[in-house]
Amino acid sequence: ETGVTQTPRHLVMGMTNKKSLKCEQHLGHNAMYWYKQSAKKPLELMFVYNFKEQTENNSVPSRFSPECPNSSHLFLHLHTLQPEDSALYLCASSQVSGGTNEQFFGPGTRLTVL
Amino acid sequence: AQSVTQLGSHVSVSEGALVLLRCNYSSSVPPYLFWYVQYPNQGLQLLLKYTTGATLVKGINGFEAEFKKSETSFHLTKPSAHMSDAAEYFCAVSPPSGTYKYIFGTGTRLKVLA
């Protein structure tokens, strides 16, 4: 595997389900990000992890719970979601020290909440 | 605070015609600037970036952009559109250092007509 991978690519869940999204980066980066991409809206930064520590939480509802066990893996745990949470969830990674912070994106998980 | 404005949510050009996608930014310090492309059902891929130095930046797939500080612009151009250029394009800005945050524009969907 190369770059940034995300699983699953598609997910359909009911409002009472619990599921998790997984992201893995194979680039040796030290920062990872979760973004939400909804139709007709700008990309929304949700969470940032730098060296496994959460450094940003953009007022994301608690039904979204991130986890970063190491610099290569990032999870987004989902529970009791709402239909308006349906979106494309993108993971990205970057090397933030001494570089341009160029972010590399995964292919995304298309989430549908019924 | 930084912001990014992309004029035109949809742009149509004929195959072989000039592509011009507009991006204006607002920033209190000279920013880093990026253009990303997103093909259907995929994540974002970096086209090109400006950090410092030469203001005309060349990227992949024949695209280029010019940083114009006086106009606070970073427009994306390609001399001759190809059918494979049909995608959504995002402009992003970040401060030059000390933060991990990108501010994205709302995107421009490029349609190439045969």
Report yes or no: B44 and B63 within 8 Å, Cβ to Cβ.
no
What type of residue is A39?
A
Q: pLDDT, tens digit, for every residue of A9-58?
A: 999 998 888 999 999 999 999 899 999 999 878 889 999 988 777 777 77
Considering only CA atoms, which of B110, B58, B92 is closest in space to residue A33? Answer: B92
- Please judge whether B101 and A45 are an interchain contact, meaning their C-beta atoms are less than 8 angstroms apart: yes
Select from A56, A92, A101 the Cβ nearest to the Cβ of B94.
Answer: A101
Task: Tell whether the model's pLDDT for residue A98 goes beyond 70.
Answer: no
> In which residue are the tokens 């590399």 written?
A104
Alpha carbon of A81: minimum distance to chain B alpha carbons (Å): 22
> In which residue are the tokens 């066990």 written?
A69
The verdict on whether omega for the bond into residue B31 sits within 30 degrees of 0, i.e. cis, is no
> A103, A109, A110, A112: best mutation site toward chain B, by most B Cβ within 10 Å?
A103
- Please judge whether B43 and A108 are an interchain contact, meaning their C-beta atoms are less than 8 angstroms apart: yes
Q: pLDDT, tens digit, for every residue of B53-82?
A: 899 999 999 999 999 999 999 999 999 999
| pLDDT value at residue A41 | 82
Mean pLDDT over B82-93 rounds to 96
* Size (chain B), residues: 114
Considering only CA atoms, which of A78, A92, A86 is closest in space to residue A110? Answer: A86
**Pairwise CA distance, residues A53 & A103, whole Å:** 18
Report yes or no: A64 and A54 within 8 Å, Cβ to Cβ.
no
B36 contacts in A (CB within 8 Å)? 105
- Please judge whether A56 and B101 are an interchain contact, meaning their C-beta atoms are less than 8 angstroms apart: yes
Q: pLDDT, tens digit, for every residue of A52-94?
A: 777 777 789 999 999 999 989 999 999 999 999 999 999 999 9
